[in-house]
A and B are shown apart, each in its own frame.
Chain A
């Protein structure tokens, strides 16, 4: 780690503006760190030429006094965002060497504000997974290791490349996406900050679709302020996505008043799940104490349908995925496997192109949407979703925010859960309800497990009230004072 890669996004922004450093220097430092990180497998495509060209252009704009809000700041991009002229695969074989001729709205917004692209980051295939082990490029590795084992751990998923790259200082921040926890759970596993904004805050245009009613883009960063900075640029209405809302994007940094006196924080009792480990319980209690001593009022609330969120999600998400992934047919882009006739070609292409977890979910989705089962599964799940959203609505009549753990455990070993889909799905027990209700949520590092691994706490806000969420997250971050870093083992020969 160099002095330049140690910086937070906000610190780098200050130094660039003061002309203490150049974007080319900053970008070169991050490219060097990224090049020396093969063992982490965080980047699936590094784009040094693009990065240095963008950095030089940024330096020129800074010199001319025309700097944008993210001018010269090098970022990583989850390989789910289409990038013009740069291979985009969703980490699936079925996309082969697909090279978009257009740019996703979220990344276009970042570049328009002056950010620099370092490359594309690993993720679970089509964002389906909680460990980044289903990627066609192989698993991404968590920079953190337990104090009692040398085993390689998962960085969480699906945005594992994003969380690992940010935790290992291979980027100042990274884009990510969250359908059931794919930003927040990897942030919790890597000691980083992960924020999923309200559904509709960021455009989904040009982001490879998984489950369209749940997918939402957001940042992974090393501080809450950095998340606010990135989100400000990523968010906004886009006429190419009718579900992106046309309301003003506030100046999120103005939310950091540090004052949460009188704010009501709800503690949902249903999140105290059976078999919750002592250290997660302790972390949660500690989080409550921090917010209380900062002047917040703690209120016990009930979200009675919480236990049904995960099973409802595993109907809705695969159903939408089976529909979204119908486009991969070997005709217009990506892989094609020769067949005797067109149906044979479709079937062979999709058999070879999709990995096991994606195939599993497409089959489940096809089943729950098929004639005779649609009402029993899909409509039933959408009704449960209404109940879950109502639970939150009722809670928000009494409180401003909710505090919960982000994940039921710290990072686990690669291979530990990959053959047991159900136990993998349970990782998202605290994050999935937030997606089903379309709410904003943020995970921030709050402590270490007994064997030295990061643990995150999650704050959940009201629809489109990211400001209150960030304000409280800022206070919690300061109280937690999380400063642990993984020791750098991945650069060794």
Chain B
């Protein structure tokens, strides 16, 4: 098992996904199966190979740094599960 239950707990925390105790074992099995399978990449000598950064050779274009749309507050907050006076609202974060 390359990914044990403690590791699942740790990465679920990093990913901000609640995982129950009962789910840890099956997830550990699933993730280990997949990660054990990708281990075969170790067979390939990549010491002098540059990692890919762009799949198609292209130059990133620059554009004017100007405001094109404004007063979008209503559209931006329209789909929020909770909003007030044009602001997103969240549970209290500061005591």
Contacts and interface: CB of A to CB of B under 8 A. Distances in A.
Interface of A: 96, 98-102, 198-200, 213-214, 239, 242-243, 245-246, 305, 307-308, 311-312, 314-315, 322, 326, 329-336, 339-348, 350-351, 354, 359-360, 362-364, 366-367, 370, 377, 379-387, 389, 421-422, 436-438, 463-464
A183 B49 CA distance: 30
Contacts of A245: 56, 58
A334 B37 contact: no
B19 interface: yes
B15 A363 contact: yes
Ranked nearest first, the 10 interchain pairs of A and B with the lowest CB-CB distance are A438-B55, A382-B51, A336-B81, A333-B79, A347-B18, A351-B18, A383-B46, A101-B75, A311-B38, A385-B52
A367 B34 CA distance: 12
Contacts of B41: 308, 311-312, 315, 380-381, 384
B44 A384 contact: yes
Main secondary structure of the interface of B (DSSP, over half): loop
B38 A99 contact: no
Interface string B33-44: 111011011101
19 contacts: A245-B56, A308-B41, A315-B38, A331-B90, A333-B80, A336-B81, A342-B93, A343-B16, A345-B90, A351-B18, A360-B27, A360-B34, A364-B34, A366-B14, A367-B35, A370-B14, A384-B41, A384-B46, A421-B34
A306 B35 CA distance: 19
A213 B17 contact: no
Given A199-B56, A363-B8, A421-B33, A347 B38 contact: no
Contact of B56 (A101, A308, A326, A463): A463
B18 A366 contact: no
Which of B31, B46, B52, B63 has its CB near the most chain A CB atoms (within 10 A)?
B52
Given A363-B15, A364-B31, A387 B38 contact: no
A438 B56 contact: yes
A384 B39 CA distance: 13
A386 B80 contact: no
Contacts of B7: 367
A102 B10 CA distance: 37
Contact of A243 (B11, B58, B76): B58
